[in-house]
Amino acid sequence: MTLFNSLIVVLLALVFLSSGVRVLREYERGVIFRLGRISRALIGGTGPGLIMLIPVVDKMVKVSLRTVTMDVPAQDVITRDNVTVKVNAIIYFRVIDPQRAILQVEDYLFATSQIAQTTLRSVLGQGQLDDLLAKRDEINAGLQRIIDQQTEPWGVKVSAVEVKNVDLPQEMIRAIARQAEAERERRSKIIHAEGEFQAAQKLSDAADIISRNPTTLQLRFLQTLKELSSEKTSTIIFPMPIDLLTPFLLPRGGAPRG
């Protein structure tokens, strides 16, 4: 064998061996199949760092352990009170068991997305529209719990589910606006009635005080005259108490004129 042939053999051997070298990042794990089976020594995946594979014999599938943020497409949902709405959501999940994520499901990303869509329609269809609009936190918690139970056998942990938008039909938006306007009008009338009631109570208390002490009525009369006299352009006409005119209506003898 010539030197040239030897160099070719060595070069081919190096290329063959280098094809079995893999580097996994800190957030990655590798599930290695040896002749189609997971070796007992490699159960649970390997990494991070430098991984040496036997070319042709070993095959490795990379799995990311980072949290995945996935949009759930808008779903047509019919609520329990027969209102059709479009709802979309966002789901946060990550792989906690790389081996199960590869062995138990063909594509854990696609499977998780499908589970989220069906669960979104199912859960929201059991409630009423008012609950969907007002109890968002409770709905998010229920969705997270149900989806997480479905994905747990795949080694996928769902950490949060958030309902993003609820698109209502135009006629429902107008109905809600009319309802809100009626509610504001009702509160306005209640506040006005409460003010009238409190004012009537104060007037009643004032009347009781004046009835017990008539002098307070004269003082109030004089105070009103003072307030009216501050307007120089005003012409004031007020009744004079008849008691002031009684001495002038009596004759000199003291007896009333007949």
The ranges assigned to domains in the chain are: 10-64, 68-172
* pLDDT recorded at residue 246: 61
Q: Please, are residues 239 and 245 in contact by the beta-carbon 8 Å criterion? A: no
Question: In CATH, what number does 68-172 get?
Answer: 3.30.479.30
Identity of the amino acid at 179:
Q
The model's pTM: 0.62
Contacts of 138 (CB under 8 A, 6+ apart): 131
Neighbour count for residue 112 (Cβ, 10 Å): 23
Q: Which of 209, 218, 210 is nearest to 244 (CA)?
A: 218
* pLDDT recorded at residue 24: 84
Q: State how far the Cα of 258 lies from the Cα of 254, in Å rounded to an integer.
A: 12
Q: State how far the Cα of 199 lies from the Cα of 155, in Å rounded to an integer.
A: 69
* pLDDT recorded at residue 69: 93
Phi, psi at residue 40, to the nearest 5°? -60, -35
* pLDDT recorded at residue 214: 66
Mean pLDDT by 10 residues, the chain (258 residues): 67 67 84 79 65 81 91 86 86 92 91 92 85 85 92 93 83 68 80 85 76 68 67 62 59 53
Identity of the amino acid at 4:
F
Secondary structure of 111-180 in the HEC alphabet?
HHHHHHHHHHHHHHCCCCHHHHHHCHHHHHHHHHHHHHHHHHHHCEEEEEEEEEEEECCHHHHHHHHHHH
For the chain, the farthest-separated pair of C-alpha atoms sits apart, in whole angstroms, at: 168
Q: State how far the Cα of 72 lies from the Cα of 112, in Å rounded to an integer.
A: 10
CB-side neighbour CA atoms (13 Å) of 9: 6
Start-end of H helices in the chain: 3-18, 98-103, 108-124, 129-134, 136-151, 170-212, 215-229, 246-249
